[in-house]
Amino acid sequence: MNSLESLPLKNQKVLVRLDLNVPIQDGNITDDNRILAVKPTLDSLIQKGAKIIILSHLGRVKTEEDKAKNSLKPVALRLSEVMNQPVTFIPETRGEVLEKAIDALNPGELLMVENTRYEDADGKKESGNDLELAKYWASLADVFVNDAFGTLHRAHASNVGIASLMTHKAPGLLIQKELDVFNEALKNPKRPFVAILGGAKVSDKIGVIKNLLSIADKVIVAGGMSYTFLKAQGYEIGTSLVEDDKLDLATSLMEEAEGKLEFAVDYKLTKAFDNNADIRIADYDDFKPDEMGLDIGPKSLEKFKAILKEANQVIWNGPVGVFEMSNFAKGTEGICEALASLDHATTIIGGGDSAAAAIQMGFKDSFTHISTGGGASLEFLEGKTLPGLKALE
């Protein structure tokens, strides 16, 4: 791949694909981490005299109602504050108004196009990698820079489509940083290397577990998917989340692991999926048929802390409990605290819910790296080829 430094940028129209898919409530952005993360790339383009045209998606758009609540306008306003300069916002994804605004750009100026997924409202043109749409967007610029790490695992018109049509193209500084961190961690790990995998489903992380078992020294499995492993061993799990069609797979993974897999030894149990429901802490072999596990227990947290204390590198993807509810967030918060205290270790959070939990709990600056891409980092950990990255070659 080309590097950002090698591209012809001065006085050139540069189409920049960013991942500005941030949470918005009542018109207010509740987490601007992804906006802050792209500032270095935009600063570099401004310094080099590029005319900058920004593409991003926001949420899912299938109807006119979805359009109304997923406009990028609030994002453009926040980006202008972060960049300390105006960001011209065009509430369209194509057309004469957009083209004239682009032609009027001066070097160092920023323009943001409306949500690329507006093109999905009358058919999956963006998410379906529509060639006509990709050709149109590519025609707006001379150079393409992709800095949307969070969408590298998707083959959309705004990343793969445009990149396949452009000669001058390269990843931005954020993607380069993400790749450097994950490549170093997986190809030259600091040992002992411990991986923590949480989240709801074994099926989402089969490939990740298999790949990390061949690289890591220990793999801690927690969160909703741990109950499938418990049931596979013949234990009662009550009404806990389970994938019955993955029980044989869980058994084979435990056999392949040769002792590398580590599980919780106690859980917070309740009879209702409710933050205010009565809680009972019980060992892994003491579930009642009408109980569900929603978090790890204190003995499990101490077990995991002891494993992590010895680690020189940790990669964490997926919370270990239902952290959105305060009474079931203690396990995830405890993992955050344990990792934050590892001054000697490289600590990497693989985006998604674990990143959201770490930031929400006040640990944003306590880790070596917090990835901006949940699905992309997951597929990278699995060893898959990311289509958005391949298109930049």
Residue ranges of alpha helices (H) inside the chain are 33-37, 39-47, 64-69, 73-83, 96-103, 131-139, 162-165, 173-187, 206-213, 226-232, 247-257, 298-309, 330-340, 352-360, 374-382, 387-390
Active site residues: 34, 201, 352, 375
Question: How many CB atoms lie under 10 A from the CB of residue 47?
Answer: 10
**Cα–Cα distance, 211 to 174 (Å, whole number):** 24
Q: Are 4 and 44 in contact (CB under 8 A)?
A: yes
Our CA angle for 91, 95, 99, nearest 5°, is: 90
Which residue is it, tokens 């950990």? 381
Nearest residue to 144 (alpha-carbon basis) of 36, 80, 70, 50: 50
Q: Are 170 and 343 in contact (CB under 8 A)?
A: no
**Alpha-carbon torsion, ordered 304, 309, 310, 313, to 10 deg:** 90
**Cα–Cα distance, 375 to 156 (Å, whole number):** 14
Ramachandran angles phi, psi of 300, nearest 5°: -65, -45
Structure tokens at 273: 């999926």
Cα 37 to Cα 94, 97, 279, 373: the distances in Å are 27, 29, 39, 11
Which amino acid appears at position 302 of this protein? E
